[in-house]
Amino acid sequence: MHLSAIYIEEHDFLFDQPQSLNLGGKHLYKFSKQAGKIIVSRTKNKNYIHDFFNLTDTVSKILSLNAIVGQNGSGKSTLLDIIRSRFVKHEYAFPQLNCILLFESDIIAEPSILKNGFGKVYLKSDDSSEVMKELKESEVSVQSIYYSPHFDYKYNPNFDDADSFDISFEKSIELDLDRSTGKNANENGIPYSVSQELLFKNSLRQIQFLNSDLVKTKKIFSNIFHLQQHYEPILHFRGYNLEKEWNTPYQFRGILKLISEKASDEISKWHEMREFESDKVLNQIEINKYILKRNIIKSIVSLLYKQMEKKNSFLQEGFFPYDELKTKLDTADAEQSLLIFTDYSTIKFGESTNIQVFDQGSLKRLLHAINDAIDNVKSEYSVSTSTLKSSTNDTIKILQLQRAFVSDLNGYYNKFYSENLFPDDGERVDGFIDYMPFSRRMSSGESALLNFYSKLYDFLDTNLKEPKFRRPKQTYLLLLDEADLTFHITWKKRYVKALLRTIPYFFDELDNQPSIQIIFTTHDPITLSDIPNSHVVYLERPDYESPSVILDYDSKRRPKNTFGANISDLIADSFFMENSLIGDFAFDKIREVINWLNDPKDLNKSDYYETLIKIIDEPIVQRKLAEMFDEKTKKNVQIDIIDQQIAQLESLRKKLS
């Protein structure tokens, strides 16, 4: 099922007349309003090609790909907001509008609709008769996912989380800072800066994506983009500031307190292991390793507290056989005690049902990997009491194991829900290991590319895999708002093909392997040369005082050619370029030369204008201006210009021969 047409009767600020748009489906749709009813008529789209955009062998398929183009301020981003307003929890978080979204399916002959603010909607028969069938709003298994690389300073005081499928740069910053709240400062007691906190989160997403099966095993980016790797990784181990126990199950509080006290007591004895030569400590690296391992235990305990304090769901139901394990605990160190706790702690329902709280293996594997990495360090400058600079392989292994451990921990409440319920975002916790590359060698374009793919990967992996925090849908509308903005022209040429070649693999990893429709905004004619014209939406706005207009598919003002069209022809189209094909600065300089040449009395600055004429690279304009210059100054600049052009032509001839 894919979005095929949209009817917008009114919008809070963008349009002053009803608008409709088509997205290249099997039919082209028109909408009209008669006696309070919406009448939908359609004709077959002669240019429709089934499966045109599928380039992979995945079960997840690209149903359609569409571009929205228009001048700055014409409403491209707003049009994406109109689409996603139908899929959010709070539609009033977006500007007021009345619209109909119309979906086509390969299975059902009639389209399905989502609407608001309308009475009845009727579909006219495909033949010439006046027979009409009512289209009733039905449940469609569709969800939008929105991405934008911009920080737009959007703020809605009435809705904290209007769109829970928003993975934009702005939303990511908000979530990253929120999830950093309450975390410990560095080992010197100094809070990490906002920039450091954001770098931790973004770098973690990037390295986990770069080492995912999609990149490493399936190699979906080979021959498309070179993904720049991270270098010299540093791990920061950070717990949470412990608050008063309110919701942690009573039966767990004693053992958790015992583990923390053991770790603190062990840390306090660090001085007993010092070795001196004169006044110099000989084994500082071993001391740092010793303290770091105990601080990690305290961080993990604080993370367990953080999760269990979110709700008092199991205040009385926790069970830990403390008396049976007392002898074992008396001789155990902090790490061993922590593992005993995770092995034996359960939630007890009634007399016979005990459910294991934690995955018994995930924490053991994580601690084993961390301890191995710490033990492998040879330089005291690579390990402190809260940080570890390890090999790339060790870092990746640790972060992957942390992801598995935190994923299990985020299912703390989820284990006891029915299959039809999904936990709230407030029930998830962040990890206790932050990551930052010591060395990054990325351009802004490389960062933009990696940010998009890593954010999409992270969102799908943490929300639509187990434990699921979002209800899965059969179709996802991936809305990309100028995601290619910082790309070099070579990457812009690959942009559409890259989306088609890679995006299906992301969704194919989900249990239900959904279909995808991609809708993106762009300014770039290069990108449009990869899009059939029927899949392009053209927005026009003469000036900021005028309302916007969506050009209908049969509008004379609508560009006629895009797919496979010459890029120069696309750029020259009046829809994209007004007045001239050169920049305004160059245009003004040429006009300045002409004004000077047309004033016979002004002979000042002739050297300046001669040089200006010589640096103009359009040969016809340059020769004409040189001719006018010679007439005015009685010089012979034309000879210099012709000699210069001959030299350029001879150089070109040598290259070709």
What pLDDT digit, counting tens, does each position of 260-300 carry?
999 999 999 998 998 888 888 889 999 999 999 999 999 99
pLDDT of residue 267: 96
pLDDT tens, 505-537?
999 999 999 999 999 998 888 888 899 999 999
Residue 361 clears pLDDT 60, i.e. is over it: yes
Span 307-323, average pLDDT: 85
pLDDT at residue 157 greater than cutoff 90: no
Over residues 239-266, the pLDDT tens digits come to: 999 878 888 889 999 999 999 999 999 9
- Give the DSSP letter of residue 117: S
Q: Where are the alpha helices (DSSP H) in 355-488?
A: 362-376, 392-409, 444-463
The structure tokens listed for 243 are 């608050």
Contact partners, residue 350, CB within 8 Å, separation at least 6: none
Instruction: Count other C-beta atoms under 10 Å from residue 402's C-beta.
Output: 22
Q: Find all residues with CB under 8 Å of 484, minimum gap 6, and list them.
A: 491, 492, 495, 520, 522, 524, 527
Provide the 10 A C-beta neighbour count for residue 73. 14
Q: Per residue in 388-402, pLDDT tens?
A: 999 989 999 999 999
How many other CB atoms are there within 10 angstroms of residue 151's CB atom?
11
Give the pLDDT of residue 586: 85
* Per-residue pLDDT at 416: 61
| Contact call for residues 628 and 599 (beta carbons, < 8 A) | no
What would the mean pLDDT of 115-120 be, rounded to a whole number?
A: 78
Q: Where are the beta strands (DSSP E) in 273-394?
A: 276-277, 280-281, 318-319, 346-349, 353-356, 387-389
Q: Which residue has the higher pLDDT, 436 or 295?
A: 295
- Helix-, strand-, coil-residue percentages of the chain, each rounded to 5: 40, 20, 40
Domains of the chain and CATH, by start: 2-165+470-572 (3.40.50), 236-445 (no CATH), 584-656 (no CATH)
The answer for residues whose C-beta is within 8 angstroms of residue 205's C-beta and 6 or more apart is 454, 455, 457, 458
Q: Is the pLDDT of residue 582 over 80?
A: no
User: Residue 52 class from Cβ within 10 Å (0-12 exposed, 13-18 middle, 19+ buried)?
Assistant: middle
Provide the token pair at 575. Answer: 């829809």
Q: In the predicted model, is pLDDT for residue 440 greater than 70?
A: no
| H or E segment to which residue 102 belongs | strand 97-104
**pLDDT bucket at 129, cuts 50 / 70 / 90:** low
Q: Which residue has the tokens 């006009």?
A: 591
- Predicted pLDDT of residue 649: 85
**What integer pLDDT is reported at residue 315 of this predicted model?**
78
Give the pLDDT band of residue 44 (cuts 50, 70, 90). very high
Predicted confidence at residue 433, as pLDDT, reads 96
CA–CA gap between residue 44 and residue 70 (Å, rounded): 26
pLDDT of residue 160: 67
Contact 131, 36 (CB under 8 A): no
Q: Cβ neighbours of residue 373 under 8 Å, at least 6 residues apart?
A: 388, 390, 391, 394, 395, 397, 398
Interatomic CA distance for residues 431 and 453, integer angstroms: 21
For the stretch 143-155, pLDDT in tens is 999 999 988 777 6
Q: What is the pLDDT of residue 641?
A: 86
Average pLDDT, the chain: 88
The whole-number pLDDT of residue 125 equals: 78
Q: What is the mean pLDDT of residues 604-622?
A: 89
Structure tokens belonging to residue 333:
């160190």
Please check whether residue 68 is in contact with residue 519, taking contact to mean a CB–CB distance below 8 angstroms.
yes
pLDDT at residue 579 is higher than 70: no
| CA distance linking residue 211 with residue 89, whole number of Å | 34
Task: Locate 529 and state its tokens.
Answer: 């040369």
- What six digits make up the tokens of 604? 């000042």
Looking at the DSSP assignment, which residues form a beta bridge with residue 31?
40
Going by the DSSP 8-state scheme, the letter that residue 4 receives in this structure is E
**Backbone phi, then psi, for 363, in 5-degree steps?**
-70, -40
Most confidently modeled of 200-204, 294-298, 617-621? 294-298
Q: 32-46, 296-310, 405-419 — which is least confidently predicted?
A: 405-419
d(CA 177, CA 170): 11
Q: What's the pLDDT score for residue 245?
A: 85
pLDDT at 93 over 90: no
In this predicted model, what pLDDT tens digit does every residue of 98-117 receive, in sequence order? 889 999 998 888 899 987 77
204-208, 310-314, 340-344: segment of lowest average pLDDT:
310-314
Angle formed by the axes of helices 444-463 and 489-508, nearest 10°: 10
Residue with tokens 């300073």: 153
Q: Which residue has the higher pLDDT, 551 or 570?
A: 551
The first and second tokens of residue 329, run together, are 């605990």
Structure tokens at 202: 């973004």
- The pLDDT score that the predictor gives to residue 269 is 93
Give CA torsion, residues 610, 615, 618, 623, to 10 deg.
Answer: 30
Average pLDDT of 595-608?
Answer: 90
Highest mean pLDDT among 482-491, 581-590, 626-635: 626-635
H/E element, 536: strand 536-540
